[in-house]
Structure 1
Amino acid sequence: MNTNTDTNTNTAQQTVAIFGAYGHTARFLIEEFHERGLGLSLGGRDPVRMTALAEAHPYARTHVATVDESASLDALVAGAALVVNAAGPFGDTTGPLIEAALRAGIHYIDITGEQPVTRHDFETYREPLAASGLLFLPALGFFGGLPDLLATAAMGDWAAADDITVAFALDSWHPTPGTRKAGARSAGKRVTVSGGRLVPFDYSQDLPTDWDFPAPVGKQPVHALGTADQITISRHLKSPEVRAFMNEAPLADLRDPHTPAPTAASDGGRSAQSWLIDVVVTRGAERRAVSAVGRDIYAVTAPVVAEAAVRILAGRTLPGGTGSGMRAPGEVFDAEDFLSSIADITWSRRPAGRPAMRRDSPTGSTPAHTVGETYAVPEAPSTSHARTGRTLISPSTGTSNDEPPSSGVKAPEQDVDVPALATVLSYVRQSASVTVPGSPHSAARGSAVKFISTT
């Protein structure tokens, strides 16, 4: 929940539709949008659960809607200015919801963390939607959107980098049923960015290495991943290498079929899970690093999505930036200002530590896809990260009429045959835990950040 107190709440004519409105993450989205003063149109396929949702949220319109009935989706988005797709598996829902948004002439956001879906949607829709006059932001969540914004902030005034690496440290991971289902669907379909191309990623090639996270987390054994961030980042930031790593504790939780779903540790429904994202960008001998810390990877999606939505509706996109088509958030928003507006996230620049050990790029006869030209990121005016307050819709803001730049990464012309997914390395090192004091911005949530330490 965003706890800032901006009082500009004139949002009477703005409604956001949410599909998959009774899902785990959707509960946080409903709360966030309602607090920001936007109207809500809520939809889902289960009539019983939609009846319960209507009783819990009498201020919202509710609809039984399914991806198999376009008329039901049209009823859900009618009168809305933007639709948020929160229903997985997203391989089944993104296409019908994107088409519904196009029919209604409204903007679209989804919260998938599924890399194959994110890749498919960029490759399928980026060019066709470029002249739509509408914004489509896929994977705007903990995976995909948030690391993309951090990487954009880290790049600053660099037009290109040699390597962009995103490293995740989670103290635990209690996956939702949707996360488990998405993981099964993504098996064997993940890629990574190496040598300026999308190449197949196989977990059997992964070897444990270390990553120097910001103190006091410190050095952690990590494993390579194929994530949605590698798709969003490579679509507009120019780097031949885009890699992702995660520490071992959450991977062990995911491997264990008995790990329970997340449970609320506070009245707001957030779990006690804590996380850190570390992004390191290199160019020759130069290195830039940005890190962010917060709580509950599912709940933090809500303020990120809501902030993006209200900025789109208020016309608060980058001057001269890309205001139409399927985009990554770093293409559309001032990354530093955006990150600083989210009270649920504390982020900072830092002296970059040693990057993770490099591994040879995958080779072989499998065709790979070239990563194209990028959108130039404007230089950040300041390193201060004071909170700017949540964004709310204001009729006086106006809509930017700036022309978008030339298109970014082009969709590949042929698909990749990806080898079957191997089992993630099974061992987990015995380790002690160390508690990291919570940030001043999260004190109201009564949380401390706890990570696994091997030192």
Structure 2
Amino acid sequence: MAETVRAHDLVVYGATGFVGRLLAGYLAEHAPEGTRIALAGRSRDRLEEVRAALPPAGRDWALVEADSTDPESLRALAEGTRVLVTTVGPYARYGLPVVEACARAGTHYADLTGEVLFVRDAIDRCDALAKETGARIVHACGFDSIPSDLSTMLLARRAREDGAGGLRDVRLVATMRGGFSGGTIDSMRAQVEALQQDPALRRVVGDPFALSPDRAAEPSTRQPRDGAMPVRTDDGRWTAAFVMAPFNTRIVRRSNALQNWAYGRDLRYGEVMGVGRGPLGAVAAAGITAGLVATVSAMSLAPTRALLDRVLPAPGTGPSAAVRQKGWFRMVVDAETEDGRRYRATAAGPGDPGYAATSVMLGESALALTLDGDRLPDRAGSLTPATALGEVLVERLRAAGHTYEVTAV
């Protein structure tokens, strides 16, 4: 479909949800004047409420009714815009029809999923079709997994520029302050339920190269464990298992493979969470690791899952404005290259990482797809932030107040 007949430049699908509202507000404040943006969702009344609460620039945006269970509405939605960004999750439950509609229409797509099974299904169903139509299907455009993906990309570029060879050992240590939303919890619950219904999927989730474009071609390099046990680092800080590692690591490895293993054939990439120092740090690290195991285990059993549902945030809810404002994130990524040189990347930013910072990341990803097409990597199909948006997104995020830097150490 020719772009000249499309009514919108960018559509926010799921605008009435918690993250959707944040994203719409960000775009109303930062999209250039004249960008044709629309809000989409199931209820026109709720869309009107969202639009009325936006900054002035967004109060005349178009509204589009669409439902993931209605293929015709999704077809019209995708064919009516150049770019679609969706916050409707859990993606494994609601997302595939949206990806398929965009791939078929040649519409660029972005989401903030952190679900391995969904991305694997989307690759298998839509990658070839999107390549035919020229659609960029870009998953993981939030805190999952932009800091991980862009930091590794920048490290690999610096190593190449210095003639240091490919990356060999890379470890990200995440520290942050923020809250959890019901949408995140619901996505975790949906994946646990999927594994219960089909135990064979455990092999997919457990495969460190689960999102590879060519699993047979992947090297046999052993990867770090996602559920790392507490460890005391050389500087005295304790680290614990990082809840996002099982997804982020697979996105980074997919980026490497999509670029013909440009980061390094023997890349070992892992992620942990940084906690405190001394005895209190050790206790915190052990508690975080045990808590993650206990939460997943509790979600696997109906009686304990019912108890968790009473205390965990409900879908459509999230941290208060005060919590979002006080939050922050800092990811320190240390790398050793093939010739033994060492580099460090830092990705950091203000605001609750999963919501305030994610609205910036997703918003700038959507604007890059909408406005910077001629500057983006010449790729289509099922992509990652690094392979679809690359340096353009780094520039945008720096301009938005986030830090992305690499130094030799």
- TM-score, scaled to structure 2: 0.70
**For the Cα contact (< 8 Å) 1:114–1:182, is it kept in 2?**
yes
Instruction: Provide the residue aligned with 1:40 in structure 2.
Output: 37
Which of 380, 385, 409 is the matching residue for 1:329? 385
Gaps of 5+ in 1: 1-11, 353-455
**Alignment CA distance shift 1:271-1:116 (3 Å):** farther
- Structure 2 residue runs of 5 or longer lacking an equivalent are 1-5, 196-201, 210-217, 276-283, 296-307
Preserved CA contact (<8 Å) 1:339 1:347 = no
Corresponding position of 2:116: 115
Over aligned residue pairs, what C-alpha RMSD do you find?
A: 3.4
Q: CA deviation at 1:106?
A: 1.4
Letter in 2 for 1:325: G
The answer on 1:184 being equivalent to 2:189 is yes
Does the CA contact (< 8 Å) of 2:224 and 2:268 recur in 1? no
Picking from 342, 366, 370, the partner of 1:313 is: 370
Aligned length: 331
Distance 1:275 1:118, change over 3 A: same
Match of 2:172 among 132, 156, 166: 166
The letter for the 1-side match of 2:40 is G
- Seen in structure 2, the aligned counterparts of structure 1 residues 339 and 227 have a Cα distance that, compared at 3 Å, is farther
Matches within 5 A, 1:241-320: 241-247=268-274, 251=288, 258=311, 261-265=318-322, 270-284=324-338, 285-294=340-349, 295-297=351-353, 298-316=355-373
Percent identity between the aligned chains? 21
How far off its partner does 1:140 sit? Answer: 0.9
Deviations 1:131-152 (A, max 9, x none): 3212110111111233201110
| Residues 130, 325 of structure 1: 8 Å contact kept | yes
For residue 344 of structure 1, what is the amino acid of its counterpart? Answer: G
TM-superposition CA deviations, 1:211-259 (whole Å, max 9, x none): 578xxxx723222554332222112323442212124669488778546
SS of the residue 2:342 aligns to: strand
Alignment partners' CA distance in 2, 1:14 and 1:46: 19
Q: Quick one: distance in 1 between partners of 2:380 and 2:329?
A: 32
Secondary structure at the counterpart of residue 344 of structure 2: strand
2:49 pairs with 1:52: yes
Deviates more, 1:141-150 or 1:280-289: 280-289
Work out whether residues 303 and 344 of structure 1, in 8 Å CA contact, stay in contact via their aligned partners in 2: no
Residue identity in the other structure for 2:23: L
Partner residue of 2:253? 234
3-state secondary structure, aligned to 1:193:
coil
Q: Which amino acid letter does the alignment assign opposite residue 18 of structure 1? A: V
Is the aligned partner of 1:175 residue 2:173?
A: no
Name the residue aligned to 1:423.
none
Aligned-pair distance for 1:328? 1.4
**Contact 1:113/1:227 (CA < 8 Å) preserved in 2?**
no
Shift of residue 299 of structure 1? 1.8
C-alpha change, 1:347 and 1:193, in structure 2 (3 Å) is: same
Q: For 2:103 and 2:229, how far apart are their aligned partners in 1?
A: 44
User: Per-residue deviation at 1:340?
Assistant: 5.3
The 8 Å contact of residues 239 and 272 in structure 2, kept in 1 or not, is answered as: no
The residue number in structure 2 matching 1:139 is: 140
Secondary structure of the structure 1 residue equivalent to 2:326: coil
Match of 2:241 among 210, 214, 223: 223
| Alignment partner of 1:349 is 2:406 | yes
Q: Answer yes or no: is the 8 Å Cα contact 2:151–2:333 preserved in 1.
A: yes
Deviation at 1:122, TM superposition (A): 3.2
Paired position in structure 2 for 1:23: 17
Query: Does the residue aligned with 1:164 lie in a helix, a strand or coil?
Result: strand
Cα contact 1:144–1:231 (8 A) shared by 2? no
Q: Indicate conservation of the 8 Å contact 2:99/2:122, yes or no.
A: no
In the alignment, the residues of structure 2 paired with residue 23 and residue 178 of structure 1 have an alpha-carbon distance, to the nearest angstrom, of 9
TM-score (norm 1): 0.63
Q: Which moves more between the two structures, 181-190 or 102-111?
A: 181-190
Once the two structures are TM-superposed, the CA of residue 322 in structure 1 deviates from its matched residue by: 3.3
CA distance, structure 2, for counterparts of residue 103 and residue 75 of structure 1? 11
Structure 1 residues 55 and 71: alpha-carbon distance in aligned structure 2, compared to 1, 3 A threshold: farther
Q: Secondary structure at the match of 1:152?
A: helix
Higher helix share: 2
User: Any idea what SS the aligned residue of 1:17 has?
Assistant: strand
Query: Structure 1's 72 and 289: CA in aligned 2 closer, same or farther, altered over 3 A?
Result: same
The one-letter amino acid of 2:271's match is A
Q: How far apart are the structure 1 equivalents of 2:231 and 2:75? A: 49
